[in-house]
Chain A
Amino acid sequence: MSRDDKPLEFDEAFLARLRRHEERAFNELVLGYEERVHRLVWRMLGNDAESEDVTQEVFVQVFRSLESFRGDSKLSTWIYRIAVNLTKNRSKYLKRRHRDSHGDIDGKEPSLDHHRAIGVTSGETSRPDQVAQGHEAERVVRQCLDLLDEDFREILVLRDVEGMSYEEVGAITELAEGTVKSRLHRARSELRRMVEERLGGPLP
């Protein structure tokens, strides 16, 4: 959940309607969450078409599993957990397919749309050379993120991009808070190392 998103509140009556597979309630749920889930999936996967496909699969899985949702966690946490797991599976599948079709995994050119995403770094500078540097740095960061281990990428996106608390990240990834923190530390270090290596110098 991003910092600028208000959490959606659903009461017990709504959950009961969902568990009964009431179509109108499910439609409301999808309309309330599709953008958030798609954003999370895209940030983890970085491929437009695949992200839409995975997002749709997330809600199909949600629909099929609604009866088993006992309310131990928040509904949003449960949905994000499904999204994260399906995205990780898809990411592994895509990497495997890429490796199979290229003979080996060189890790240099995954076919991901992150690379053409537009960030905001360029908007903070005015000189053309700085704009170009900003674009390049963002492109390198996205490329390195795509090359990171899925467990690292998951934790970086949830915490540093989506802005979730350690508690939320732990609930979604089903990891203890201490493990979340230490994994986050290692993920940040690894990403920083990769980016600095490619940019040829230390980051501020």
Chain B
Amino acid sequence: MTEHDLPEQDRPSEPPLPLLARALAQPPKPARSLLPGIQERIRERTHGRYFRRRRVDLRNPTTLLLGVVLLVLVLSAATYLVLSNFWAAR
């Protein structure tokens, strides 16, 4: 007899196993968002049509480091120019 042969009201009800819900209560969370990986897959499979790398991501540590280095260089150059003019004027 298959499940379809038995009228619904005649089927004996089997209670859920409480252990099951408890055993699977706490799945691990991914360490980081899966979004970048998903974007990468879509980028590859659409041959770059979607999710092209076109924006500078300031949250990227490398980008942030480069930005800071560039800023320090610009400030140093500006300080040097100001000070050299100042000393030349004296």
Cβ of A114 under 8 Å from chain B: yes
What sequence of 0s and 1s flags, for each residue 50-84 of chain B, a beta carbon within 8 Å of any chain A beta carbon?
A: 11000000000000000000000000000000000
Cβ of B29 under 8 Å from chain A: yes
Residues on the B chain within 8 Å of A114, using CB: 23-24
Residues on the A chain within 8 Å of B6, using CB: 182
Given A23-B51, A56-B41, A179-B3, answer yes or no on A192-B14 (Cβ-Cβ < 8 Å).
Answer: yes
Provide the main secondary structure of the chain A interface: helix
Q: Are A38 and B22 touching (Cβ within 8 A)? A: no
Cβ of A181 under 8 Å from chain B: yes
- Distance from A149 Cβ to chain B, minimum over Cβ atoms (Å): 13
- Distance from A159 Cβ to chain B, minimum over Cβ atoms (Å): 8
Q: Are A161 and B8 touching (Cβ within 8 A)? A: no
Provide the main secondary structure of the chain B interface: loop
- Give which listed residue, B14, B15, B27, contacts A42 with CB less than 8 A: B27
Those of A7-37 within 8 Å (CB) of chain B: 21, 23, 27, 30-31, 34-35
Q: Are A160 and B19 touching (Cβ within 8 A)? A: no
- Give which listed residue, B21, B30, B45, contacts A161 with CB less than 8 A: B21
Chain B residue nearest in CB terms to A43: B24
Q: Are A60 and B42 touching (Cβ within 8 A)? A: yes
- Distance from B30 Cβ to chain A, minimum over Cβ atoms (Å): 6
Stretch at the interface among A88-96, A100-108, A115-123: A115-123
- Give which listed residue, B14, B15, B16, B25, contacts A119 with CB less than 8 A: B25
Q: Are B23 and A142 touching (Cβ within 8 A)? A: yes
List residues of chain B with CB under 8 Å of any chain A CB: 3-4, 6, 8, 11-17, 19-30, 33-35, 37-39, 41-42, 45, 50-51
